[in-house]
Structure 1
Amino acid sequence: MAALINRVWTAFSPPQVTKQKDALKFGVLGAASIAPLSLIIPARSHPEVIVQAVAARDRSKAEAFAKTHGIPEVKDSYQDILDDPNIDCIFIPLPNGLHFEWAVRAIRAGKHVLLEKPSTSNAKEAEILFNLPELSGPDAPVLLEAFHNRFHPSWNLFASLIKPEEVLHIKTHSMIPWWATSKSDIHFNYKLSGGTMMAMGTYNYAALRLLFGSSPLECVSCDASAYKDGEHANCDYEFKATFRFPNGAIGEASSTLQGETILKPSHVTVTTKEVVIADASLPSDQEKVRSQVLTLNGMIHGVFWHRIDNTSNFTLRNKSTHRIIRRWTENTTRKAYTFEEAGGEFAELPGEAHWMSYRYQLEAFVNKIRRRDVQTWVNGEDSIAQMEMIDMAYEKSGLGARPSSVFR
């Protein structure tokens, strides 16, 4: 318990570091509540990052935000931040419906962009954004869809334990308690591309694609509960979707923004088919077969708590007759708050136990800009495939894909 308290406390109050002279200066578009968690707090412990400026539609709100978080400059508009030659990077935590416009504007202004997920409102916008001509060439700006949980050691370790060709079934779930959201939130504004599938559901869909190693062939079903009135119409507050992947494998995803009173950790469970495991100690007429059930609990915010459970079911049998000689089960549990704990190919990667997934993400973002090697990345093809899957589910649900921006 002491380790948990210390880890979480330090995650929110990380040690301050001396900033390098050539530190990247960030401008933040919007005084969003997610910005402290996703950028401002992680930046405190990164020697190459300074959060320099913020702008909001309401300047007084931006001024209060800047004062609270120690941001030196307040700009009159988003465009003023883009026009500032002193700003190197743009963080976009705006409502979903504004992601496309301001990401395009920032890229055209020559800024690196850290873009909150989902990257755009739909796949059509994603294809335009990630194929902008300004993103090609050796000195092109860096654009990253901020799927922060994918940068945490726990996710990387979990994914390394799974071979996509062996996966038979995946089930994943996420939730936010009913008291943590309200109908007036931007999550439920249709014109701003709201909906649970655009919010927590994005994590679930991404988990299916990544662990299957492919995009779904079809959305078999998508049952969504949605509001029906005014600006909230067609905004889902919970859903359950089933997808068919290559080779007939099935993936299930569910999420709710109106969940139970007690917060429950997100999770993903992978069931594999039986495969023959090499074992040189066995007689030549015997073989060992294994199937697994692997679960990552705490899939989204690994720094608070997570656990990887692995149940491996073994069968020893005769090769020719398949007569069963013996069956047994082995259970293991692992955690990885650092890459050193993850071990193997990750062992030498930097990190501290108190680093949030956002801090690991920021490390990768800076390294990409500096042209250093990165272990984990979300490329444009990945982000486009993500929006195609979301569109597929929305179409199957009958709610339709989220509307495109009028910006061109």
Structure 2
Amino acid sequence: MAALVGRVYTAFVPPKSVIPPKSGNAIKFGILGAANIAPMALITPAKSHPEVIIQSVAARDRAKAEKFAKANNIPQVHGSYQEMLDDPNIDAIYIALPNSFHFEWTVRSIRAGKHVLLEKPSVSNAIEAEMLFKMPELSAPNAPVLLEAFHTRFFPSWQYFQTLVVPENIEYIKSVSMLPWWGTSKDDIYFNYNLSGGTMMSLGTYNFATIRALFRAEPVECLSCETHQFPEEAHKNIDTDFKAKFRFPNGGIGEASSTLNGPTIWTPSSVAVTNKEVIVPDNSLPPGQEKVLKLEQTIHGVAFGLLWHRIDIKSNYTIRTKTGGKVIKRWSEKKSHKAYTFKEAGGQFAKYPGESYWISYRHQLEQFVNKVKGRETQSWVSGEDSIAQMKMLDMAYEKSGLGIRPTSKFRP
């Protein structure tokens, strides 16, 4: 418990001992949108990074931006989004606007020569993703850096878990997440179709991303997608929850489910992998018998591994006859692992930096800065990956009958 309290306190209220002086060539960030996610996703993680300064914020309402700046010790407020992009003192933009504005303001930021850390989902649909991530400016020499902020993919426990899963052996993946009903409101942007809302566009993006990452492939088809909606006309075509199944090239099935209107008690997100049976060589067995392993691999606490997570590996063994498959013996062996740091993950990860109080957003920021500075990155979310992610979301929305989220009228 003491370790948990220490990690969480240091992550969210960094003491002076973990706040280094800023370097002379630190990246100066401007924040588009005075969003509630910004302190956790960027402002607080930036305190412990010597090469990041949160310089400015801009919002549609200047008064709101000024209040946000004061609350978060941000020295500058820009009068408009464009004014921020025109400021040569700003190096990078963090876009935390509603989903429907991601496409336009990312394009404008890239064309202004700014690096962009873009909240997920990157855009509203695959149409926008194709246009955005294939912009000529992104393949030019000294191109700006663009990263879709899938922070969970940078955390040590998730990266370690991925190495345990063999894609061709996967039979079934079940990825689950939720927010209790009291964590959202009908008036939230999550439930606004014109702002490209919906549960799949919110928590569902994490579910889909974990499945794609473990299969290391894209789904062949969406087999089913069941949803529920609020009855009001104002929330038409908005999924409050969903359950979707996909078929992958190896024949495996990926199931994703989530809700933004869940039970009162919150439960951590999880990803459970069931593997195909494999024959385990065992020379101690009689000639007519064989040993079979069916592996179950589960990671609990995917979204916020800093708070708590656990990786469970359950090995289900069976000894049976080769002819007829008569079961001689069955037993299971279970092991659990945790990796709050890359050092704890060990092996190939041990050399990577990170402290036990680094939240997934801090690990993500580390890699973003490395990319901007031209240094090696240990993990990344490519433009091709982001396009494929939106294609999977579109597949599910089309299968559900709700339709893909609306495409922006803005054109580069």
Q: TM-score if structure 2 supplies the norm length? A: 0.95
Matched ranges for 1:348-363 at <5 A:
348-363=351-366
Match of 2:5 in 1: 5
Deviations 1:67-95 (A, max 9, x none): 11011100000111111111111000100
The CA RMSD measured in Å over matched residues stands at 1.8
The answer for the alignment partner of 2:246 in structure 1 is 243
Which residue, out of 299, 303, 309, partners 1:300?
A: 303
* DSSP 3-state at the match of 2:260: strand
The more displaced of 232-241 and 333-342 is: 232-241
Deviations 1:108-161 (A, max 9, x none): 111110000000000000000000000003311110000000000010111110
Residue equivalent to 1:94: 97
Q: Which stretches of structure 1, 4 residues or longer, exceed 6 Å deviation after superposition?
A: 317-325
The aligned residue for residue 401 of structure 2 is 398
Alpha-carbon separation, structure 2, partners of 1:230 and 1:327: 54
Match of 1:154 in 2: 157
**CA shift at 1:259, angstroms?**
0.7
- Structure 1 stretches lacking a partner, 5+ long: none
1:195/1:236 contact within 8 Å kept: yes
Query: Aligned-pair distance for 1:363?
Result: 0.4
CA spacing shift, 1:320–1:400, aligned 2, 3 Å: same
| Structure 1 residue 289 displacement after superposition | 3.3
Contact 1:227 1:234 in 2 (8 A): no
Q: Name the SS of the counterpart of 2:240 in structure 1.
A: strand
Q: CA deviation at 1:233?
A: 1.6
1:263 aligns with 2:277: no
* 1:314 aligns with one of 298, 317, 325: 317
**What is the number of equivalent residue pairs in this alignment?**
407
Which residue in the other structure is 1:205 paired with?
Answer: 208
| Contact 1:228/1:234, CA 8 A, preserved across alignment | no
Correspondence 1:107 to 2:121: no
Using the alignment, how far apart are the partners of 2:205 and 2:272 within structure 1?
16
Separation (CA, whole Å) in 1 of partners of 2:115 and 2:168:
36
Q: Which moved more, 1:365-374 or 1:141-150?
A: 365-374
Partner of 1:378 in structure 2? 381
Measure, in 2, the Cα distance between the counterparts of 1:28 and 1:172: 31
Structure 1 pair 399–358 and aligned structure 2 pair: CA distance change class (3 A): same
Q: Note the C-alpha offset of 1:320.
A: 8.8
CA distance in 1: counterparts of 2:343 and 2:256, whole angstroms: 31
Report the Cα distance in structure 1 between the residues aligned to 2:293 and 2:285, rounded to whole angstroms: 17
Q: Could you tell me how far 1:229 is from its partner in structure 2?
A: 3.5
Among 194, 202, 211, the residue aligned to 2:197: 194
Partner of 2:184: 181
Report the AA paired with residue 194 of structure 1.
G
Provide Cα deviations, 1:29-79, integer angstroms capped at 9, x if missing partner.
Answer: 010000001000000000000000100000010001001101110000011
- The answer to whether the 8 Å contact 1:91/1:115 transfers is yes
Post-superposition shift, 1:327?
3.9
CA 1:77–1:278 in 2, change beyond 3 Å: closer, same or farther? farther
Amino acid at match of 1:7: R
| Offset of residue 274 of structure 1 | 1.3
User: What whole-Å deviation, never above 9, does each CA across 1:290-348 have from its counterpart, x for those lacking one?
Assistant: 22111110011100100001101124567799776654321000110000001111111
Calculate the TM-score normalised by the size of structure 1.
Answer: 0.96
Q: Paired residue for 1:339?
A: 342
Unaligned runs of 5+ in 2: none
Q: Within 2, Cα distance between the matches of 1:254 and 1:320?
A: 39
| Change over 3 Å in CA distance of 1:51–1:237 after alignment to 2 | same
> Contact 1:191–1:231 at 8 Å: present in 2 too?
no
